[in-house]
Structure 1
Amino acid sequence: MHTFRSFAACLLLMLSVWLGGACSPDAAARAIPGQPAGGGQDRILFIIASARVHGTSTLPASVSFGEVVHAWDVFHAAGYAVDFVSPEGGAVPILDDYVGKEVAARLDDARIMGGLRNTATPAQIDPARYRAVYYVGGSNAMYGVAGHPQLQRIAMQVYERDGGVISAVCHGTAGIVDLRLANGQYLVAGKRISGFPEEHEQQDAAYFKQFPFLIRRTVQARGGTFHAVDGEQPHVQIDGRIVTGQNYASAAAVARAVVALLHSPAAAPGQGAPPR
């Protein structure tokens, strides 16, 4: 009997160790990309571009790592879980030039890197799980996101059916310019919007000639009012449940504004959609 109990105890210990390893951040991301196991926590969905080059060129393009980290930190501190989705799923490009010194150490953060190496495809995402979406910037955000029908469906279900928040920062604003409400109206129509304006681009550079559209011009063409400031200081526009930031420095401020909206009584789950 003593031998049997010892064997059973060892078996239980081995099982617990095995389960603990299976539930690491990287393992969870590999098992169900973009949708980790914990089901009860409110979630934010980061929408990230997959493009590795600018348009049809060979010029490398990248996600802005700091715009991921600074927003992730705010959402995590506020108690939200973060998942990642991209048009193609899997690993997204992170070039050294897009990793600021203040976030370089976070390249070793398994919680963030596990998600960025294992982004979900849009087909794997259940929009009903999310309180908000956050469009991440970077030079590659200009490609493959704005016109992606599945990503559009996800964002508009979160916003229009479930009363959630749509947010974007810097070039991430490119991802929201083609979103439409159920009545066919552009989401940005009549709204105050910020993002990285073409006036701040290097317009004589090869990368700029690859852009499929310009953020300021397109927002204005869709009926929105575009707001930007000179310099690199944070600048955020909040209009109803749409939060947009102008630049890299605005990522944390965008996330804080999203959290504030989600903590408002009108945004509580089950209370219906607050004003647009």
Structure 2
Amino acid sequence: MRTLVISFLMLFIASNGLSQHKQSGRIVFVTSNQETYGDSNKKTANHFGEIVLAYDVFVKHGYSIDFISPNGGAIPIGYISKSDSIQNHYLNDTKFMKALKNTFRPTAINPSDYDAVYYSGGGSAMFGIANNTTINSIAEAIYRNNGIISAVCHGTAGITNLKTKTGEPLYQGKQISGYPDIFENKDAAYYKTFPFSIEEKIKQNKGEFRYSEKKRDNFYVIDGQFITGQDPSSTISVATQVVKTLQNQ
């Protein structure tokens, strides 16, 4: 009888298109506490759309999400489009907005609990992430455990210093996308506060930087365990490809 019950439950799960992995999977989002461009007075933020559009894809596929930031606690959000129904939905989701006000410190989580890491963008992402050794160690551990490293737009800045156990760039020889230099205004005050160029940093570390010469082109690349997108238009695609890759493992 017990065997019959177990067989029935497994058949029920399969017939409903579910899997044990989907039910128990977890993804960690990396965000930034930075409120200004460097030491200037010019405000910046995490890109709200790049957070919520990816979040929406993941939770609809059964994944649980945790947010981390270098200091934990509240993170600045911006680049909000209230005309976007998904963004509007989460702006009014008390539980979700509370999570953004109470992000975890990196030391509070266990990398082995997660199937993937996702770096969202916005100007804030250029600061406090790439050189955070604890965040880097989390992503590196997830990668070693056959997990996915994903990023969108300026979120790619966060992966630039990831290393193998032997000290080699983790993405050496891999195709990586992010916000390219051709779309940055290098003469602008905001850009002069950036600690580095994402494109140049990836190239210096022997990665193959890829991008479309068109903005908002839904451009993204998949190379092994790396799934990265050029700008906000690729957010949903990157998240969708993360889910597909995890489900096919």
Scaled to the shorter chain, the TM-score interval is 0.7 to 0.9
d(CA) in 1 for partners of 2:183, 2:89 = 28
d(CA) in 2 for partners of 1:204, 1:145 = 24
2:162 alignment partner, one of 132, 156, 179? 179
Give the RMSD, CA atoms, in angstroms.
1.1
Question: What SS does structure 2 have at the residue aligned with 1:90?
Answer: coil
TM-score by length of 1: 0.79
Correspondence 1:76 to 2:59: yes
Question: What SS does structure 1 have at the residue aligned with 2:24?
Answer: coil
**Matched pairs, number:** 223
d(CA) in 2 for partners of 1:53, 1:221 = 27
TM-score by length of 2: 0.87
1:99 alignment partner, one of 61, 70, 80? 80
Q: CA deviation at 1:205?
A: 1.4
Task: Give the residue type in structure 1 aligned to 2:51.
Answer: V
Q: CA deviation at 1:107?
A: 1.2
1:47 alignment partner, one of 24, 30, 47? 30
| Cross-structure match for 1:200 | 183
| Cross-structure match for 2:241 | 257
Q: CA deviation at 1:110?
A: 2.2
Task: Give the residue type in structure 1 aligned to 2:180.
Answer: P
| Cross-structure match for 1:120 | 104
Task: Give the residue type in structure 1 aligned to 2:189.
Answer: A
2:72 alignment partner, one of 66, 89, 92? 89
1:225 alignment partner, one of 193, 205, 208? 208
Question: What SS does structure 2 have at the residue aligned with 1:55?
Answer: coil
Task: Give the residue type in structure 1 aligned to 2:198.
Answer: I
Q: CA deviation at 1:142?
A: 0.4
Paired-residue identity, %: 42
Gaps of 5+ in 2: 1-22
d(CA) in 2 for partners of 1:219, 1:144 = 17
Question: What SS does structure 2 have at the residue aligned with 1:207?
Answer: helix
d(CA) in 1 for partners of 2:41, 2:103 = 23
Task: Give the residue type in structure 2 aligned to 1:207.
Answer: Y
d(CA) in 2 for partners of 1:163, 1:83 = 19
Q: CA deviation at 1:139?
A: 0.6
d(CA) in 1 for partners of 2:98, 2:108 = 17
4+ runs deviating over 6 angstroms? none
Q: CA deviation at 1:105?
A: 4.2
d(CA) in 1 for partners of 2:188, 2:92 = 33
Q: CA deviation at 1:128?
A: 1.0
2:92 alignment partner, one of 98, 103, 108? 108
Q: CA deviation at 1:169?
A: 0.4
Question: What SS does structure 1 have at the residue aligned with 2:125?
Answer: helix
Q: CA deviation at 1:59?
A: 1.0
Question: What SS does structure 2 have at the residue aligned with 1:114?
Answer: helix
Task: Give the residue type in structure 2 aligned to 1:151.
Answer: I
